[in-house]
Structure 1
Amino acid sequence: MDYLVRAVATDGSFRIFATRTTKTVEEARQRHNCWPVAAAALGRTMTGALLLGANLKGEDILTIRVLGDGPLGAIIVSANANGEVKGYVQEPQVDLPSTPEGKLPVGAAVGKGHLHITRDLGLKEPFTGSVELVSGEIAEDMAHYLTISEQTPSAVALGVLVDTDNSVSAAGGLLLQLFPNADEEVLQNLEKNLAEFPHLSSLIKEGKTPEDIINLVTKGLDIKILESSPVCFRCNCSRERLEDLLIGIGQEEVSAMLEEQGGAEINCHFCAQQYRFDAGDLQRILERIKEQTK
Protein backbone atom coordinates (compact mmCIF):
# COMPACT_ATOMS: atom_id res chain seq x y z
CA MET A 1 0.00 0.00 0.00
CA ASP A 2 1.21 3.51 -0.76
CA TYR A 3 1.25 5.77 2.29
CA LEU A 4 2.68 8.96 3.75
CA VAL A 5 4.30 9.46 7.16
CA ARG A 6 4.49 12.73 9.12
CA ALA A 7 7.09 13.33 11.82
CA VAL A 8 8.57 16.22 13.82
CA ALA A 9 11.74 16.83 15.79
CA THR A 10 11.05 16.53 19.51
CA ASP A 11 12.75 19.92 20.02
CA GLY A 12 10.45 21.51 17.40
CA SER A 13 13.29 22.43 15.05
CA PHE A 14 11.98 20.74 11.91
CA ARG A 15 9.23 18.61 10.42
CA ILE A 16 9.63 15.81 7.92
CA PHE A 17 7.35 13.88 5.58
CA ALA A 18 8.11 10.76 3.55
CA THR A 19 5.91 8.78 1.19
CA ARG A 20 5.90 5.71 -1.01
CA THR A 21 3.90 6.28 -4.21
CA THR A 22 4.87 3.34 -6.45
CA LYS A 23 1.34 2.09 -7.17
CA THR A 24 -0.04 5.62 -7.41
CA VAL A 25 2.48 6.65 -10.05
CA GLU A 26 2.13 3.36 -11.93
CA GLU A 27 -1.63 3.88 -12.18
CA ALA A 28 -1.07 7.35 -13.63
CA ARG A 29 1.47 5.93 -16.10
CA GLN A 30 -0.99 3.30 -17.27
CA ARG A 31 -3.92 5.69 -17.54
CA HIS A 32 -1.97 8.16 -19.66
CA ASN A 33 0.22 5.61 -21.47
CA CYS A 34 3.34 7.53 -20.40
CA TRP A 35 6.76 6.75 -21.77
CA PRO A 36 9.60 6.66 -19.20
CA VAL A 37 10.65 10.33 -19.05
CA ALA A 38 7.01 11.47 -18.89
CA ALA A 39 6.25 8.87 -16.19
CA ALA A 40 9.19 10.14 -14.14
CA ALA A 41 8.24 13.82 -14.50
CA LEU A 42 4.56 13.22 -13.74
CA GLY A 43 5.36 10.82 -10.90
CA ARG A 44 7.74 13.27 -9.24
CA THR A 45 5.17 16.06 -9.48
CA MET A 46 2.38 13.86 -8.08
CA THR A 47 4.59 12.73 -5.21
CA GLY A 48 5.59 16.31 -4.51
CA ALA A 49 1.94 17.37 -4.45
CA LEU A 50 1.16 14.71 -1.84
CA LEU A 51 4.08 15.88 0.33
CA LEU A 52 3.16 19.57 0.03
CA GLY A 53 -0.49 18.70 0.64
CA ALA A 54 0.23 16.67 3.78
CA ASN A 55 -1.15 19.44 6.00
CA LEU A 56 -4.31 20.12 4.01
CA LYS A 57 -7.61 19.96 5.92
CA GLY A 58 -11.22 19.27 4.98
CA GLU A 59 -11.94 20.35 1.40
CA ASP A 60 -8.55 22.04 0.84
CA ILE A 61 -6.93 21.41 -2.55
CA LEU A 62 -3.36 21.94 -3.73
CA THR A 63 -2.58 22.25 -7.44
CA ILE A 64 0.87 22.22 -9.02
CA ARG A 65 1.47 23.47 -12.57
CA VAL A 66 4.86 22.90 -14.12
CA LEU A 67 4.87 25.02 -17.27
CA GLY A 68 8.12 24.43 -19.12
CA ASP A 69 9.10 24.97 -22.73
CA GLY A 70 10.41 21.40 -23.15
CA PRO A 71 8.76 18.64 -25.20
CA LEU A 72 6.63 17.39 -22.27
CA GLY A 73 4.58 20.59 -22.27
CA ALA A 74 2.53 21.31 -19.14
CA ILE A 75 2.35 19.02 -16.11
CA ILE A 76 -0.78 19.60 -14.01
CA VAL A 77 -1.33 17.80 -10.69
CA SER A 78 -3.91 18.21 -7.93
CA ALA A 79 -3.96 16.69 -4.41
CA ASN A 80 -6.49 16.89 -1.59
CA ALA A 81 -6.58 16.45 2.19
CA ASN A 82 -7.47 12.75 1.88
CA GLY A 83 -4.16 11.82 0.27
CA GLU A 84 -5.76 11.54 -3.16
CA VAL A 85 -3.83 12.83 -6.16
CA LYS A 86 -4.52 13.10 -9.87
CA GLY A 87 -2.54 14.56 -12.73
CA TYR A 88 -1.48 14.52 -16.34
CA VAL A 89 1.36 15.52 -18.62
CA GLN A 90 0.49 17.30 -21.85
CA GLU A 91 2.72 15.13 -24.06
CA PRO A 92 3.05 11.69 -22.41
CA GLN A 93 4.87 10.01 -25.32
CA VAL A 94 8.20 11.84 -25.33
CA ASP A 95 11.51 10.04 -25.88
CA LEU A 96 14.89 11.66 -25.18
CA PRO A 97 18.35 10.11 -24.79
CA SER A 98 19.50 9.38 -21.23
CA THR A 99 21.86 11.72 -19.43
CA PRO A 100 25.61 10.90 -19.39
CA GLU A 101 24.99 9.35 -15.94
CA GLY A 102 22.37 7.04 -17.46
CA LYS A 103 19.41 8.81 -15.86
CA LEU A 104 16.11 9.87 -17.40
CA PRO A 105 16.48 13.44 -18.75
CA VAL A 106 13.55 14.96 -16.86
CA GLY A 107 15.10 18.44 -16.72
CA ALA A 108 15.61 18.57 -20.48
CA ALA A 109 12.12 17.21 -21.11
CA VAL A 110 10.55 19.86 -18.83
CA GLY A 111 12.72 22.73 -20.06
CA LYS A 112 12.74 26.30 -18.80
CA GLY A 113 9.65 28.03 -17.48
CA HIS A 114 7.74 28.45 -14.24
CA LEU A 115 6.38 26.45 -11.32
CA HIS A 116 3.01 27.58 -9.97
CA ILE A 117 1.55 26.20 -6.74
CA THR A 118 -2.04 27.05 -5.78
CA ARG A 119 -3.52 26.36 -2.36
CA ASP A 120 -7.32 26.51 -2.29
CA LEU A 121 -8.13 26.65 1.41
CA GLY A 122 -11.81 27.47 1.01
CA LEU A 123 -11.26 31.20 1.31
CA LYS A 124 -12.58 33.77 -1.17
CA GLU A 125 -9.44 33.64 -3.30
CA PRO A 126 -7.00 30.73 -3.63
CA PHE A 127 -3.35 31.61 -2.97
CA THR A 128 -0.93 31.05 -5.87
CA GLY A 129 2.83 31.36 -5.64
CA SER A 130 5.16 31.17 -8.63
CA VAL A 131 8.90 30.81 -9.23
CA GLU A 132 11.10 30.24 -12.22
CA LEU A 133 12.12 26.63 -12.77
CA VAL A 134 15.65 26.11 -11.46
CA SER A 135 16.40 22.82 -13.22
CA GLY A 136 13.15 21.22 -14.39
CA GLU A 137 14.02 18.20 -12.23
CA ILE A 138 10.94 18.97 -10.03
CA ALA A 139 12.43 18.30 -6.55
CA GLU A 140 14.98 21.13 -6.77
CA ASP A 141 12.28 23.40 -8.20
CA MET A 142 9.90 22.65 -5.31
CA ALA A 143 12.62 23.27 -2.72
CA HIS A 144 13.38 26.59 -4.44
CA TYR A 145 9.68 27.49 -4.38
CA LEU A 146 9.31 26.72 -0.66
CA THR A 147 12.42 28.71 0.23
CA ILE A 148 11.65 31.73 -1.97
CA SER A 149 7.85 31.93 -2.09
CA GLU A 150 6.95 30.57 1.35
CA GLN A 151 10.17 31.52 3.21
CA THR A 152 10.55 27.97 4.55
CA PRO A 153 14.04 26.47 4.07
CA SER A 154 13.33 23.00 2.72
CA ALA A 155 14.98 19.91 1.29
CA VAL A 156 12.98 17.86 -1.23
CA ALA A 157 13.86 14.46 -2.69
CA LEU A 158 11.65 12.83 -5.31
CA GLY A 159 12.35 9.58 -7.11
CA VAL A 160 10.68 7.47 -9.80
CA LEU A 161 12.32 4.32 -11.09
CA VAL A 162 11.01 3.07 -14.45
CA ASP A 163 11.68 -0.54 -15.46
CA THR A 164 12.65 -1.83 -18.89
CA ASP A 165 9.00 -2.68 -19.64
CA ASN A 166 8.09 0.99 -18.91
CA SER A 167 6.35 0.10 -15.63
CA VAL A 168 7.09 2.07 -12.47
CA SER A 169 8.98 -0.20 -10.07
CA ALA A 170 9.58 2.35 -7.30
CA ALA A 171 8.44 5.88 -6.50
CA GLY A 172 8.42 8.08 -3.45
CA GLY A 173 9.48 11.32 -1.88
CA LEU A 174 10.83 13.18 1.12
CA LEU A 175 10.19 16.71 2.38
CA LEU A 176 12.20 18.24 5.23
CA GLN A 177 11.31 21.73 6.48
CA LEU A 178 13.31 23.72 9.01
CA PHE A 179 11.80 26.01 11.61
CA PRO A 180 13.48 29.28 12.72
CA ASN A 181 14.54 27.81 16.08
CA ALA A 182 16.74 25.08 14.53
CA ASP A 183 20.21 25.36 16.09
CA GLU A 184 23.56 24.90 14.35
CA GLU A 185 24.12 21.36 15.66
CA VAL A 186 20.79 20.17 14.25
CA LEU A 187 21.54 21.81 10.90
CA GLN A 188 24.98 20.18 10.68
CA ASN A 189 23.54 16.77 11.54
CA LEU A 190 20.82 17.05 8.90
CA GLU A 191 23.27 18.34 6.27
CA LYS A 192 25.59 15.38 6.94
CA ASN A 193 22.72 12.87 6.70
CA LEU A 194 21.39 14.42 3.50
CA ALA A 195 24.87 14.42 1.94
CA GLU A 196 25.10 10.68 2.58
CA PHE A 197 21.50 10.00 1.52
CA PRO A 198 21.25 7.41 -1.31
CA HIS A 199 18.94 7.74 -4.32
CA LEU A 200 15.44 7.66 -2.89
CA SER A 201 13.93 5.43 -5.60
CA SER A 202 16.70 2.88 -4.96
CA LEU A 203 15.80 2.77 -1.27
CA ILE A 204 12.15 2.14 -2.09
CA LYS A 205 13.11 -0.52 -4.64
CA GLU A 206 15.06 -2.25 -1.84
CA GLY A 207 11.92 -2.31 0.29
CA LYS A 208 12.68 0.59 2.61
CA THR A 209 9.54 2.15 4.14
CA PRO A 210 8.78 5.85 4.60
CA GLU A 211 9.65 5.36 8.29
CA ASP A 212 13.05 3.92 7.30
CA ILE A 213 13.69 6.90 5.03
CA ILE A 214 12.82 9.38 7.80
CA ASN A 215 15.14 7.56 10.20
CA LEU A 216 18.00 7.73 7.68
CA VAL A 217 17.66 11.50 7.27
CA THR A 218 17.26 12.17 11.00
CA LYS A 219 19.96 9.77 12.25
CA GLY A 220 21.37 11.07 15.53
CA LEU A 221 18.34 13.30 16.19
CA ASP A 222 15.22 12.72 18.28
CA ILE A 223 11.97 12.65 16.32
CA LYS A 224 8.36 11.75 16.92
CA ILE A 225 6.27 9.97 14.29
CA LEU A 226 2.89 11.71 14.28
CA GLU A 227 0.85 9.57 11.91
CA SER A 228 0.76 7.64 8.66
CA SER A 229 -2.03 7.78 6.10
CA PRO A 230 -2.77 6.12 2.76
CA VAL A 231 -2.23 7.90 -0.56
CA CYS A 232 -3.62 6.92 -3.95
CA PHE A 233 -4.49 8.07 -7.46
CA ARG A 234 -8.12 9.17 -7.55
CA CYS A 235 -10.07 11.45 -9.86
CA ASN A 236 -13.42 13.00 -8.98
CA CYS A 237 -14.66 13.23 -12.56
CA SER A 238 -18.06 11.72 -13.35
CA ARG A 239 -20.60 11.57 -16.13
CA GLU A 240 -22.76 14.03 -14.20
CA ARG A 241 -19.93 16.58 -13.93
CA LEU A 242 -19.23 16.38 -17.66
CA GLU A 243 -22.92 16.70 -18.43
CA ASP A 244 -22.92 19.93 -16.41
CA LEU A 245 -19.89 21.01 -18.44
CA LEU A 246 -21.80 20.44 -21.69
CA ILE A 247 -24.70 22.45 -20.33
CA GLY A 248 -22.25 25.22 -19.47
CA ILE A 249 -20.85 25.53 -23.00
CA GLY A 250 -24.31 26.44 -24.28
CA GLN A 251 -26.99 25.52 -26.76
CA GLU A 252 -25.11 26.51 -29.91
CA GLU A 253 -22.08 24.31 -29.21
CA VAL A 254 -24.14 21.27 -28.14
CA SER A 255 -26.40 21.64 -31.19
CA ALA A 256 -23.33 21.67 -33.43
CA MET A 257 -22.06 18.44 -31.81
CA LEU A 258 -25.43 16.83 -32.39
CA GLU A 259 -25.71 17.90 -36.03
CA GLU A 260 -22.09 17.35 -37.09
CA GLN A 261 -21.08 14.31 -35.06
CA GLY A 262 -24.33 12.80 -33.80
CA GLY A 263 -22.82 12.67 -30.32
CA ALA A 264 -19.81 13.66 -28.23
CA GLU A 265 -16.83 11.89 -26.72
CA ILE A 266 -15.13 13.62 -23.81
CA ASN A 267 -11.95 12.52 -22.08
CA CYS A 268 -11.03 13.63 -18.56
CA HIS A 269 -7.57 15.23 -18.73
CA PHE A 270 -6.63 14.03 -15.25
CA CYS A 271 -7.49 10.33 -15.45
CA ALA A 272 -8.08 9.70 -19.21
CA GLN A 273 -11.52 8.24 -18.48
CA GLN A 274 -13.65 8.41 -21.62
CA TYR A 275 -17.31 9.45 -21.56
CA ARG A 276 -19.60 8.96 -24.56
CA PHE A 277 -22.74 11.05 -25.07
CA ASP A 278 -24.95 9.77 -27.89
CA ALA A 279 -27.57 11.71 -29.85
CA GLY A 280 -30.24 10.99 -27.23
CA ASP A 281 -27.98 12.27 -24.45
CA LEU A 282 -27.24 15.51 -26.32
CA GLN A 283 -30.93 16.02 -27.09
CA ARG A 284 -31.74 15.67 -23.39
CA ILE A 285 -28.92 18.12 -22.53
CA LEU A 286 -30.31 20.62 -25.03
CA GLU A 287 -33.72 20.36 -23.34
CA ARG A 288 -32.09 21.06 -19.97
CA ILE A 289 -30.34 24.13 -21.44
CA LYS A 290 -33.65 25.41 -22.82
CA GLU A 291 -35.33 24.88 -19.44
CA GLN A 292 -32.61 26.90 -17.70
CA THR A 293 -32.90 29.80 -20.16
CA LYS A 294 -36.68 30.16 -19.84
Structure 2
Amino acid sequence: MTAALRTVLITGTSSGIGLATAVQAAEAGWTVVATLRDTGRADALRAAVAAAGVTERVRVERLDVTDPASVAAAVSGVISEYGRLDAVINNAGVGQLGTVEQTGVEAFRAVLETNFFGVVELTRVALPHLRASGGRVITLSSLGGLIGQPFNEAYCAAKFAVEGFLESLAPVAATTGVQVSVVEPGPVASEFVTHLVPSVPGLIENAGPYEAAFKAYFETTAALFEQAQSSADAAAVVVATLTAERPPFRVQTSDLARELAGIKLSDLDGSAVQAVTGPWLT
Protein backbone atom coordinates (compact mmCIF):
# COMPACT_ATOMS: atom_id res chain seq x y z
CA MET A 1 0.00 0.00 0.00
CA THR A 2 1.31 3.45 -0.88
CA ALA A 3 1.79 6.04 1.86
CA ALA A 4 -0.86 8.24 0.22
CA LEU A 5 -3.50 5.67 1.11
CA ARG A 6 -2.37 5.42 4.74
CA THR A 7 -3.98 7.51 7.44
CA VAL A 8 -2.40 8.64 10.70
CA LEU A 9 -4.12 10.41 13.58
CA ILE A 10 -1.85 12.69 15.63
CA THR A 11 -2.77 14.39 18.89
CA GLY A 12 -1.46 17.69 20.23
CA THR A 13 -0.59 19.33 16.91
CA SER A 14 -0.99 23.02 17.80
CA SER A 15 2.77 23.50 18.22
CA GLY A 16 6.12 21.84 18.80
CA ILE A 17 6.79 18.22 17.96
CA GLY A 18 3.14 17.50 17.18
CA LEU A 19 2.90 20.27 14.60
CA ALA A 20 6.22 19.34 13.00
CA THR A 21 5.24 15.66 12.91
CA ALA A 22 1.94 16.45 11.18
CA VAL A 23 3.75 18.42 8.48
CA GLN A 24 6.52 15.87 7.98
CA ALA A 25 4.13 12.92 7.87
CA ALA A 26 2.11 14.68 5.18
CA GLU A 27 5.32 15.45 3.30
CA ALA A 28 6.09 11.72 3.47
CA GLY A 29 2.80 11.08 1.69
CA TRP A 30 0.52 10.14 4.57
CA THR A 31 -3.03 11.38 5.01
CA VAL A 32 -2.84 13.18 8.36
CA VAL A 33 -5.67 13.83 10.78
CA ALA A 34 -4.07 16.51 12.93
CA THR A 35 -5.97 16.95 16.18
CA LEU A 36 -5.88 19.43 19.01
CA ARG A 37 -8.10 20.24 21.96
CA ASP A 38 -8.86 23.78 20.78
CA THR A 39 -9.11 24.19 17.01
CA GLY A 40 -8.95 27.94 17.57
CA ARG A 41 -5.23 27.40 18.16
CA ALA A 42 -4.68 25.78 14.77
CA ASP A 43 -3.42 28.86 12.91
CA ALA A 44 0.27 27.96 13.24
CA LEU A 45 -0.45 24.41 12.09
CA ARG A 46 -2.44 25.53 9.08
CA ALA A 47 0.25 28.04 8.12
CA ALA A 48 2.99 25.40 8.37
CA VAL A 49 0.95 22.92 6.34
CA ALA A 50 0.30 25.55 3.65
CA ALA A 51 3.97 26.56 3.55
CA ALA A 52 4.93 22.92 3.03
CA GLY A 53 2.38 22.56 0.22
CA VAL A 54 0.55 19.65 1.85
CA THR A 55 -2.80 21.23 2.74
CA GLU A 56 -4.72 18.62 0.79
CA ARG A 57 -3.22 15.83 2.90
CA VAL A 58 -3.92 17.33 6.33
CA ARG A 59 -7.31 17.47 8.02
CA VAL A 60 -7.56 19.47 11.26
CA GLU A 61 -9.96 18.08 13.85
CA ARG A 62 -10.80 18.61 17.50
CA LEU A 63 -9.81 15.90 19.98
CA ASP A 64 -9.64 16.25 23.75
CA VAL A 65 -7.79 13.17 25.00
CA THR A 66 -9.29 13.60 28.49
CA ASP A 67 -12.84 13.22 27.10
CA PRO A 68 -13.74 9.65 26.06
CA ALA A 69 -16.62 10.89 23.90
CA SER A 70 -14.22 13.18 22.02
CA VAL A 71 -11.76 10.33 21.51
CA ALA A 72 -14.48 8.03 20.20
CA ALA A 73 -15.84 10.72 17.87
CA ALA A 74 -12.40 11.49 16.43
CA VAL A 75 -11.58 7.87 15.66
CA SER A 76 -15.06 7.24 14.27
CA GLY A 77 -14.66 10.31 12.07
CA VAL A 78 -11.42 8.97 10.61
CA ILE A 79 -13.03 5.65 9.76
CA SER A 80 -16.10 7.33 8.26
CA GLU A 81 -13.99 9.68 6.12
CA TYR A 82 -11.12 7.39 5.07
CA GLY A 83 -12.30 3.86 5.79
CA ARG A 84 -9.16 2.94 7.70
CA LEU A 85 -6.71 4.00 10.39
CA ASP A 86 -3.10 2.94 9.95
CA ALA A 87 -1.34 4.70 12.81
CA VAL A 88 -1.90 6.73 15.94
CA ILE A 89 0.72 9.13 17.29
CA ASN A 90 0.02 10.00 20.92
CA ASN A 91 1.69 13.39 21.32
CA ALA A 92 -0.69 15.52 23.41
CA GLY A 93 0.71 16.29 26.83
CA VAL A 94 1.08 18.82 29.62
CA GLY A 95 4.01 19.72 31.85
CA GLN A 96 4.16 20.29 35.59
CA LEU A 97 6.93 21.75 37.73
CA GLY A 98 7.12 21.53 41.50
CA THR A 99 7.40 19.03 44.30
CA VAL A 100 4.46 17.16 45.78
CA GLU A 101 4.61 19.02 49.07
CA GLN A 102 3.79 22.25 47.24
CA THR A 103 1.69 21.08 44.29
CA GLY A 104 -0.53 18.57 46.08
CA VAL A 105 -2.11 15.43 44.70
CA GLU A 106 -4.54 17.22 42.37
CA ALA A 107 -1.65 18.33 40.18
CA PHE A 108 -0.68 14.68 39.75
CA ARG A 109 -4.23 13.69 38.84
CA ALA A 110 -4.44 16.46 36.23
CA VAL A 111 -1.15 15.52 34.57
CA LEU A 112 -1.94 11.80 34.61
CA GLU A 113 -5.36 12.47 33.09
CA THR A 114 -3.81 13.97 29.96
CA ASN A 115 -0.40 12.34 29.72
CA PHE A 116 -1.35 8.80 30.77
CA PHE A 117 -5.08 8.15 30.67
CA GLY A 118 -5.39 10.10 27.42
CA VAL A 119 -2.85 7.73 25.85
CA VAL A 120 -4.64 4.71 27.27
CA GLU A 121 -8.05 5.78 26.00
CA LEU A 122 -7.02 6.70 22.45
CA THR A 123 -4.92 3.55 22.14
CA ARG A 124 -7.82 1.41 23.39
CA VAL A 125 -10.31 2.92 20.94
CA ALA A 126 -7.90 2.78 18.01
CA LEU A 127 -6.67 -0.80 18.45
CA PRO A 128 -9.49 -2.62 16.57
CA HIS A 129 -8.91 -0.40 13.54
CA LEU A 130 -5.13 -0.71 13.76
CA ARG A 131 -5.52 -4.46 13.97
CA ALA A 132 -7.54 -4.39 10.75
CA SER A 133 -4.86 -2.38 8.96
CA GLY A 134 -1.76 -3.99 10.50
CA GLY A 135 -0.99 -0.55 11.90
CA ARG A 136 1.02 0.92 14.72
CA VAL A 137 0.86 3.00 17.89
CA ILE A 138 3.65 5.56 18.41
CA THR A 139 3.70 7.51 21.65
CA LEU A 140 5.79 10.52 22.60
CA SER A 141 7.31 9.64 25.92
CA SER A 142 10.35 11.49 27.25
CA LEU A 143 13.60 10.91 29.03
CA GLY A 144 11.26 11.68 31.93
CA GLY A 145 9.69 8.30 31.22
CA LEU A 146 12.98 6.62 32.08
CA ILE A 147 14.71 9.01 34.48
CA GLY A 148 12.97 10.60 37.45
CA GLN A 149 13.89 14.27 37.22
CA PRO A 150 13.83 16.65 40.20
CA PHE A 151 10.76 18.88 40.43
CA ASN A 152 9.11 16.91 37.60
CA GLU A 153 7.45 14.36 39.86
CA ALA A 154 3.97 14.47 38.35
CA TYR A 155 5.25 14.61 34.77
CA CYS A 156 7.72 11.76 35.27
CA ALA A 157 5.11 9.67 37.11
CA ALA A 158 2.82 9.98 34.09
CA LYS A 159 5.56 9.19 31.58
CA PHE A 160 6.81 6.23 33.62
CA ALA A 161 3.21 4.96 33.58
CA VAL A 162 3.01 5.43 29.80
CA GLU A 163 6.17 3.40 29.27
CA GLY A 164 5.01 0.62 31.59
CA PHE A 165 1.65 0.46 29.85
CA LEU A 166 3.09 0.34 26.35
CA GLU A 167 6.00 -1.97 27.15
CA SER A 168 3.39 -4.40 28.50
CA LEU A 169 1.05 -3.89 25.56
CA ALA A 170 3.69 -4.18 22.81
CA PRO A 171 4.09 -7.97 22.74
CA VAL A 172 0.35 -8.49 23.09
CA ALA A 173 -0.45 -6.12 20.23
CA ALA A 174 2.28 -7.71 18.12
CA THR A 175 0.43 -11.04 18.18
CA THR A 176 -2.32 -9.33 16.17
CA GLY A 177 -0.03 -7.44 13.80
CA VAL A 178 0.03 -4.05 15.59
CA GLN A 179 3.44 -2.51 16.32
CA VAL A 180 3.95 -0.33 19.41
CA SER A 181 6.78 2.17 19.91
CA VAL A 182 7.69 4.94 22.34
CA VAL A 183 9.82 7.90 21.29
CA GLU A 184 11.94 9.54 23.98
CA PRO A 185 13.12 13.10 23.30
CA GLY A 186 15.66 14.81 25.49
CA PRO A 187 15.60 18.63 25.68
CA VAL A 188 13.56 20.09 22.82
CA ALA A 189 13.14 23.79 22.09
CA SER A 190 9.37 24.10 21.91
CA GLU A 191 6.36 25.96 23.29
CA PHE A 192 5.78 23.02 25.66
CA VAL A 193 8.81 24.24 27.61
CA THR A 194 8.29 27.97 27.22
CA HIS A 195 4.76 27.65 28.63
CA LEU A 196 6.28 26.42 31.92
CA VAL A 197 8.95 29.10 32.27
CA PRO A 198 6.72 31.99 33.46
CA SER A 199 5.69 29.95 36.51
CA VAL A 200 9.26 29.44 37.69
CA PRO A 201 9.82 32.66 39.71
CA GLY A 202 6.67 32.04 41.71
CA LEU A 203 7.58 28.41 42.26
CA ILE A 204 11.03 29.39 43.53
CA GLU A 205 9.55 32.02 45.83
CA ASN A 206 7.08 29.54 47.32
CA ALA A 207 9.36 26.51 47.44
CA GLY A 208 10.03 26.83 51.17
CA PRO A 209 12.80 24.45 52.21
CA TYR A 210 13.38 23.55 48.54
CA GLU A 211 14.01 27.13 47.36
CA ALA A 212 17.77 26.79 46.90
CA ALA A 213 17.42 23.40 45.21
CA PHE A 214 14.72 24.65 42.85
CA LYS A 215 16.76 27.69 41.86
CA ALA A 216 19.78 25.50 41.14
CA TYR A 217 17.61 23.05 39.18
CA PHE A 218 16.21 25.79 36.97
CA GLU A 219 19.67 27.22 36.28
CA THR A 220 20.97 23.76 35.34
CA THR A 221 18.09 22.89 33.06
CA ALA A 222 18.17 26.33 31.43
CA ALA A 223 21.77 25.55 30.45
CA LEU A 224 20.73 22.12 29.12
CA PHE A 225 18.04 23.68 26.96
CA GLU A 226 20.62 25.93 25.34
CA GLN A 227 21.69 22.77 23.48
CA ALA A 228 18.14 21.51 22.90
CA GLN A 229 17.27 19.99 19.55
CA SER A 230 14.56 21.54 17.41
CA SER A 231 11.00 20.25 17.24
CA ALA A 232 11.60 19.49 13.56
CA ASP A 233 14.59 17.26 14.37
CA ALA A 234 12.63 15.37 17.01
CA ALA A 235 9.67 15.04 14.64
CA ALA A 236 11.94 13.53 11.98
CA VAL A 237 12.64 10.65 14.37
CA VAL A 238 8.90 10.20 14.98
CA VAL A 239 8.21 10.06 11.24
CA ALA A 240 11.11 7.65 10.71
CA THR A 241 9.49 5.41 13.32
CA LEU A 242 6.16 5.79 11.53
CA THR A 243 7.61 4.74 8.20
CA ALA A 244 10.10 2.06 9.33
CA GLU A 245 9.30 -1.48 8.26
CA ARG A 246 10.08 -2.84 11.73
CA PRO A 247 10.36 0.01 14.23
CA PRO A 248 11.98 -0.71 17.60
CA PHE A 249 9.95 -0.40 20.76
CA ARG A 250 12.10 2.37 22.26
CA VAL A 251 13.62 5.21 20.22
CA GLN A 252 15.57 8.25 21.42
CA THR A 253 15.70 11.44 19.35
CA SER A 254 19.21 12.72 20.11
CA ASP A 255 22.68 11.67 21.21
CA LEU A 256 22.06 13.21 24.65
CA ALA A 257 18.84 11.25 25.02
CA ARG A 258 20.61 8.02 24.03
CA GLU A 259 23.44 8.68 26.49
CA LEU A 260 21.09 9.25 29.42
CA ALA A 261 18.80 6.37 28.45
CA GLY A 262 21.85 4.10 28.40
CA ILE A 263 22.77 5.17 31.93
CA LYS A 264 19.30 4.38 33.23
CA LEU A 265 18.86 1.07 31.46
CA SER A 266 22.12 -0.28 32.91
CA ASP A 267 21.63 1.23 36.39
CA LEU A 268 20.65 -1.74 38.54
CA ASP A 269 20.70 0.02 41.92
CA GLY A 270 19.75 3.55 40.90
CA SER A 271 23.02 5.11 41.97
CA ALA A 272 24.09 6.13 38.46
CA VAL A 273 20.91 8.12 37.86
CA GLN A 274 21.16 9.79 41.27
CA ALA A 275 24.74 10.74 40.44
CA VAL A 276 23.44 12.50 37.32
CA THR A 277 20.39 14.26 38.78
CA GLY A 278 21.63 15.06 42.27
CA PRO A 279 24.12 17.74 41.13
CA TRP A 280 21.28 19.55 39.30
CA LEU A 281 20.16 20.75 42.73
CA THR A 282 23.39 22.21 44.04
Output the TM-score relative to the length of structure 2. 0.26
Q: Considering only CA atoms, is the larger Rg found in Structure 1 or Structure 2?
A: 1
Specify which structure has the higher proportion of strand: 1
Output the TM-score relative to the length of structure 1. 0.25
Asked which structure has the greater RCO (Cα within 8 Å, sep 6+), the reply is 1
